[in-house]
């Protein structure tokens, strides 16, 4: 009896990895379905192709290992939230590295002319820096709304808030960014 149980147990051990691999085809389906949207969002957050590939890889790796290889209930919500967090971590790391290696250049950047302040690259970089400093709930809404171009209803579903709340958070995020950018200009 006991030996029979052992043999069933070993059979089960062999069967589990195979069935997990079989059942994880949904990871590829998710990649096919949401890949384009994710790449667009990551590109807009990061602005660097290698970083986009790294964040994308990390996102799907986390998805494949979620809860022992099980499919999350809302794959799109999970994937976009993870990608958002991964991208912000990469961006923070990049900003910190940049600060460390080019301190004199950053200090010189404070004395920019008004013409330079309308420079596309400068504005993009400044905005990215400030986006990383936003509180998480505001940042999530801003990135999903403005960089992933989702509707407020969809954002509400992803973040578990109402569309109205998402709208308010987006407005607050823009106000906060505007204040920070204005402060920087006055400094």
Q: Closest CB to other proteins among 100 and 176? A: 176
Q: How many CB atoms lie within 10 A of CB 49?
A: 11
- Min separation Cβ 46 and other proteins, Å: 10
- Min separation Cβ 3 and other proteins, Å: 31
Name the nearest CA neighbour of 93 among 55, 136, 66.
55
Name the nearest CA neighbour of 37 among 149, 187, 181, 185.
149
Q: Closest CB to other proteins among 7 and 180? A: 180
- Min separation Cβ 47 and other proteins, Å: 7
Cα distances from 187 to residues 74, 103, 120, 179, 180, in angstroms, run 45, 17, 20, 12, 11
Question: What's the Rg (C-alpha) of the chain?
Answer: 22
- Min separation Cβ 26 and other proteins, Å: 10
Q: Closest CB to other proteins among 162 and 175? A: 175
- Min separation Cβ 11 and other proteins, Å: 19
Tokens 């460390």 map to which residue?
100
E strand map for 11-161: none
Q: Closest CB to other proteins among 4 and 121? A: 121
Chain centre distance of CA 141: 11
Distance separating alpha carbons of residues 52 and 90, to the nearest angstrom: 9
Binding site for other proteins (CB under 8 A): 18, 21-22, 24-25, 27-29, 31-32, 35-36, 39, 42-44, 47, 49, 52-54, 56-57, 59-61, 64, 117-118, 120, 123-124, 126-128, 146-147, 149, 174-175, 177-179, 181-182, 185
Q: Closest CB to other proteins among 77 and 174? A: 174
Alpha carbons within 13 angstroms on the beta-carbon side of residue 60 total 19
């Amino acid at each position: 009896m006991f030996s029979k149980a052992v043999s069933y147990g070993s059979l089960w051990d062999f069967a589990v990895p195979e069935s997990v691999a079989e059942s994880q085809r949904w990871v590829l389906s998710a990649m096919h379905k949401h890949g384009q949207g994710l790449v667009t969002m990551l590109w807009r957050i990061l602005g660097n192709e290698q970083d986009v590939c790294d964040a994308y890889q990390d996102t799907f790796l986390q998805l494949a290992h979620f809860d022992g290889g099980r499919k999350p209930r809302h794959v799109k919500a999970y994937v976009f939230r993870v990608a958002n967090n991964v991208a912000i971590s990469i961006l923070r790391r990049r900003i910190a590295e940049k600060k460390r290696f080019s301190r004199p250049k950053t200090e010189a950047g404070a004395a920019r002319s008004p013409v330079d302040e309308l420079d596309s690259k400068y504005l993009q970089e400044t905005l990215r820096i400030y986006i990383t400093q936003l509180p998480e709930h505001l940042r999530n809404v801003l990135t999903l709304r403005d960089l992933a171009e989702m509707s407020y209803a969809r954002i509400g579903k992803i973040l578990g808030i109402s569309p109205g709340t998402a709208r308010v958070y987006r407005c607050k995020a823009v106000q906060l960014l505007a204040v920070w950018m204005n402060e920087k200009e006055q400094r």
